Amino acid sequence: MLRYVIQRLVGAIPTLFLIIVMCFFMMRIAPGGPFTQERALPPEIEKNVLAAYDLDKPLLQQFIYVDSFVCQQRFAMWQTGQPPDAAALSGRGLQYVRGAFRETGGVQREIKCLGGYFGKLLQGDFGPSFKKKDFSVSELIADGAPVSAILGISAILLATAIGVTFGILAALNQNRLQDYSLMTIAMIGITIPSFVMAPILTLIFGVYMGVLPVATWGGGAFNHLILPVTCLALPQIAVISRLTRGGMIEIMRSNFVRTARAKGLPERLVIGRHALRAALLPLVSYLGPATAALVTGSLVIEQIFQLPGIGKYFVTGAIERDYTLVMGVIILYAGLVIALNLIADVVYGLLDPKVRFD
């Protein structure tokens, strides 16, 4: 299994690289820019602003370039053990080579000779936000990610618990009143959009009944989570219940279930030990990308309930053409999808003995 996981992780590198390349160039070639305004800036100011963010360079150099002068200074530092010429580096535009040389406790950091967005990304730097002054993309993601993660994980756990229960009960009572009732209740979450369901629940429980807060994060307090988590979970409950119901109906008709019943096993053991494990296989494949989508935030829910998650940052960044912020969220989402799909495949193999990690 370890070999399989390593192969998948290595295979994910070119996938992630292609996502970064495609998103970077698609955003850059689109009309307009982060500093395009109805009222044009004076040419001198616009030139300085673009230079500060490397936007005055050719498109390929905005993505990555090698500063040969800085590389020479780095090599010279290794040879002589002396710090490079700070004046010369500043004349080369040191702002493009973040942290070129620092001395901390006698330990000299190496000079970074790769520039451009991808060059900085290889150094773990997502860059500054073009629109949110004095904040880096890493700081914004670190600020919003815990909120979106708490909401997403809570929503997927709630949806899984309710959806699996509904699916099992509906499958065991196929084409009966219980089946139709449970599926009707479950499908409400997917037939009514979240931008409609959220205000309805807010009016009922927050305004008219006054039992729950209608907005704000509240430090993640339980009562502040109930409404947004419920709104996020409702569409997933519908999908999960349908997947579980379909899987259970198919498995309950299989030969190994008939054999278990013929041996006289109690129905609860037939369902819990044999049927359910096989019926959940389609659900495991779905939960990977679904969890990634919920964990990375929901613009509608975060906007309605005024939650400081990264979903809100993503959409406002796209509207404002904040390239680095949008790229940071995309990379986070892509990484989560890759990681969670890998986890789903491993769990799938553990549940299904026929799967081998070759």
Crossing angle between the packed helical segments 222-252 and 194-201, to the nearest 10 degrees: 130
How far is Cα 8 from Cα 339, in angstroms, rounded to an integer? 9
Using DSSP, state whether 165 is helix, strand or coil. Answer: helix
How high is the pLDDT of residue 217? 84
Answer positive or negative: Cα dihedral of 15, 20, 25, 30: positive
Residue 326's contacts (CB-CB under 8 Å, 6 or more residues apart) are: 23, 27, 314, 317, 318
Catalogue all structural domains in the chain, each as residue range(s) with its CATH number: 36-128 (no CATH), 137-351 (1.10.3720.10)
Biggest CA pair distance of the chain = 86
How far are the Cα atoms of 24, 82, 186, 207, 231 from residue 199, in angstroms, in the given order?
36, 64, 19, 10, 10
Query: For position 54, what pLDDT does the model report?
Result: 77
Given CA atoms 319, 323, 329, 335 in this order, what sign does their dihedral have? positive
Question: Please, which pLDDT band fits residue 39 given cuts at 50, 70 and 90?
Answer: low
Angle at 252 between CA 251 and CA 258, to 5 degrees: 110
Residue 153 φ/ψ, nearest 5 degrees: -65, -40
The one-letter amino acid at 24: F
Radius of gyration of the chain (CA): 26
Query: For 73-87, 189-203, 323-337, which range has the lowest pLDDT when averaged over its residues?
Result: 73-87
pLDDT of 294 over the 90 cut: no
Percent of the chain residues past pLDDT 90, beyond the cut: 21
Between 20 and 51, name the one with better pLDDT: 20
For residue 214, what pLDDT is reported?
A: 84
pLDDT at position 189 over 60:
yes
Among 299, 295, 197, which Cα is nearest to 238's?
197
Q: Which of 171, 199, 205, 203 is nearest to 186 (CA)?
A: 171
Q: In a 3-state reduction of DSSP, which class is residue 233?
A: helix
17: pLDDT strictly greater than 90: yes
Answer whether 109's CB lies under 8 Å from 99's CB.
Answer: yes
CA 22, 139, 9, 115 dihedral sign is: positive
Higher pLDDT, 275 or 297: 275
Residue pair 310/142 in contact (Cβ under 8 Å)? The answer is no
| 107: phi then psi, degrees, rounded to nearest 5 | -95, 120
Looking at residue 109, its pLDDT comes to: 39
Segment 331-340 mean pLDDT: 89
* pLDDT tens digit sequence for 58-107: 888 888 877 665 566 555 655 565 555 555 554 444 433 334 444 333 33
Q: Render pLDDT for 210-240 as a digit per residue (tens, 0 to 9).
A: 888 887 888 888 888 999 999 999 999 999 9
> Residue ranges of the alpha helices (H) in 202-322?
222-252, 255-262, 267-269, 276-279, 281-295, 299-304, 310-319
Going by pLDDT thresholds of 50, 70 and 90, the confidence category of residue 355 is low
pLDDT at position 18 over 90: yes
Query: What does the pLDDT read at residue 188?
Result: 86
Residue-level pLDDT at 357: 61
Residue 241 has pLDDT above 90, yes or no: yes
